[in-house]
């Protein structure tokens, strides 16, 4: 049936099947009879057939010659781009190394120098010795010992800071006054603090 | 899918660009033609066709070969075409303006297939332009199945595979598209000798 110039219903199936060559023998017979007897049917089918033929004559449109080279160019560029991350400079790694290096510098670079480099300002190792009697004033003056006088503990204390060699010299000089009479073993430090304690007379 | 095409697909899946180029050569006309009829614009059709093949190159490893490569490519083209339409709508570009360049399109048909008589050539060109414009006026759903069936000459099964529609829906849409086109072309069909 036709409605407002548009085919609907069974005619749709017949027209499609007729153009696709899918009508069986009976259907083909009925279709041809319809064409012969029904002018409206014939006109509608003819217009339908002409339209389809016109569209099919239009046919596929060949691609422009520029399409293939464009696709090839883009694929090549894409292949290069996709290989990019492997070839490009590893900026992320560089940033990581710089940050790590900075942290190492901050942590280790700011530590005090190694103990093998004892500076003159380093705190001296202190050697404490007990004397049998106060030292003569001459020794105190010669080795620049501080003599604070009587301490609260009822003893007299002498204190001095000097090099290891000078300390060895001091111990030789004070050996007669030492309680255990033998000079002490000096520590390895280059500068020493010497604390000598003598009982009050 | 034929054996030679299967082999090319397998090689392309391994990254063989020459094999992929052979596949492009084989299918470029069909993909471009479909896009040209759907978009109604040669420039856009070429642009989108490029995108289709670039996408195909990217994703060919995922092509399992269950359907034909042609259908797979046309499905990509269909999706890309719909994206382009949405993009055009967003940019407030009407599709009517896109068909303005149709008259300037060169006739790509082989020389032997063109009418030699200048008057006949002109008449054919006018008819083609009118038909092209009429096709572009069809609703998108109708236009797609009509182009696939009557221009790309795909089978109903291939159209079903491509569109995901049932056979009855495909046939119904084709018929309705043809009927609408017959009405739109009525002025041109009167007295037209096509046989």
Contacts of B185 in chain A (CB under 8 A): 51, 54
- The reply to whether residue B182 touches residue A5, judged by beta carbons under 8 angstroms, is yes
- ipTM metric: 0.77
Query: What SS3 state is found at A196?
Result: strand
Residue-wise pLDDT for A99-116, tens only, equals 999 998 888 777 665 555
Shortest Cα distance from B11 to chain A (angstroms)?
Answer: 15
pLDDT at residue B102 is higher than 50: no
Nearest partner of A19 among B184, B156, B16, judged by Cα = B156
The answer to whether B75 touches B67, Cβ cutoff 8 Å, is no
* CB atoms closer than 10 angstroms to residue A90: 10
Token pair in block for residue B94: 């009407």
pLDDT at residue A180 is higher than 70: yes
How far is residue A99 from each of residues A103, A104, A106, measured CA to CA in Å? Answer: 6, 9, 11
Which residue in the set A48, A61, A74 is minimally distant from B32, CB to CB? A61
Chain A residue whose CA is closest to B36 = A61
Which residue in the set B50, B152, B174 is minimally distant from A60, CB to CB? B152
pLDDT at residue A168 is higher than 70: yes
pLDDT reported for residue A117: 47
- The reply to whether residue A57 touches residue B194, judged by beta carbons under 8 angstroms, is yes
The answer to whether A137 touches A148, Cβ cutoff 8 Å, is no
Q: What is the pTM of this model?
A: 0.59
Shortest Cα distance from B190 to chain A (angstroms)?
Answer: 9
pLDDT reported for residue B56: 93
Shortest Cα distance from B180 to chain A (angstroms)?
Answer: 7
Nearest partner of A178 among A141, A128, A127, A129, judged by Cα = A129
- The reply to whether residue A74 touches residue B174, judged by beta carbons under 8 angstroms, is no
Instruction: Tell whether A51 lies on the interface with B, counting CB pairs under 8 A.
Output: yes
| Three-point CA angle B22, B23, B25, nearest 5° | 65
Residue-wise pLDDT for A43-86, tens only, equals 888 888 888 888 888 878 889 999 999 999 888 887 666 654 44
- The reply to whether residue B131 touches residue A54, judged by beta carbons under 8 angstroms, is yes
Residue-wise pLDDT for B3-13, tens only, equals 888 888 999 88
- The reply to whether residue A67 touches residue B178, judged by beta carbons under 8 angstroms, is no
The answer to whether A145 touches A167, Cβ cutoff 8 Å, is no
Q: Which of B50, B55, B168, B189 to mutate to test the interface with A (most CBs of A within 10 A)?
A: B50
Which residue in the set A52, A57, A58 is minimally distant from B178, CB to CB? A52
Shortest Cα distance from B10 to chain A (angstroms)?
Answer: 18
Query: Can you say whether the dihedral through the CA atoms of B74, B80, B83, B85 is positive or negative?
Result: negative
DSSP class of residue A178 equals B
User: pLDDT over 90 for what percent of chain B?
Assistant: 32
Contacts of B29 in chain A (CB under 8 A): 60-63
CB pairs under 8 A between A and B: 122
Instruction: Tell whether A72 lies on the interface with B, counting CB pairs under 8 A.
Output: yes
């Amino acid at each position: 049936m036709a409605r407002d110039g548009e085919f609907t219903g069974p005619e749709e199936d017949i027209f499609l099947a007729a153009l696709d060559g899918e009508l069986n023998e009976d259907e083909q017979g009925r279709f041809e009879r319809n064409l012969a007897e029904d002018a409206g049917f014939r006109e509608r089918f003819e217009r339908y057939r002409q339209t389809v033929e016109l569209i099919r004559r239009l046919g596929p449109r060949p691609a422009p010659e520029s399409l293939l080279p464009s696709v090839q160019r883009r694929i090549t560029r894409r292949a290069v781009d996709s290989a990019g991350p492997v070839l490009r400079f590893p900026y992320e790694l560089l940033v990581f190394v710089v940050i790590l290096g900075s942290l190492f510098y901050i942590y280790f670079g700011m530590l005090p120098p190694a103990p093998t480099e004892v500076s003159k300002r380093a705190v001296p190792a202190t050697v404490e010795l007990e004397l049998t009697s106060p030292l003569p004033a001459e020794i105190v003056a010669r080795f620049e010992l501080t003599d604070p006088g009587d301490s609260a503990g009822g003893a007299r204390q002498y204190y001095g800071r000097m090099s290891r060699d000078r300390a060895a010299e001091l111990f030789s000089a004070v050996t007669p006054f030492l309680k255990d009479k033998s000079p002490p073993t000096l520590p390895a430090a280059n500068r020493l603090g010497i604390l000598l304690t003598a009982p009050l007379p | 899918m034929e054996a030679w095409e299967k082999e090319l697909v397998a090689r392309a899946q391994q990254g063989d660009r020459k094999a992929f180029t052979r596949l492009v050569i084989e299918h470029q006309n069909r993909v471009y033609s479909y896009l040209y009829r759907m978009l109604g614009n040669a420039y856009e059709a070429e642009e989108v066709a490029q995108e289709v093949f670039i996408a195909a190159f990217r994703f060919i490893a995922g092509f399992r070969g269950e359907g034909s490569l042609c259908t797979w490519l046309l499905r990509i083209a269909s999706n890309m075409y719909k994206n382009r339409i949405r993009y055009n709508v967003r940019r407030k570009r009407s599709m009517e303006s896109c068909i303005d360049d149709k008259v300037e399109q060169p006739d790509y048909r082989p020389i032997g297939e063109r009418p030699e008589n200048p008057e006949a050539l002109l008449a054919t060109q006018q008819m083609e332009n009118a038909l092209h414009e009429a096709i572009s006026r069809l609703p998108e759903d109708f236009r797609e199945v009509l182009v696939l069936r009557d221009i790309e000459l795909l089978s109903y099964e291939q159209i079903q595979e491509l569109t995901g529609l049932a056979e009855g829906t495909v046939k119904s849409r084709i018929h309705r598209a043809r009927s609408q086109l017959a009405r739109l072309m009525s002025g041109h069909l009167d007295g037209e000798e096509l046989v």
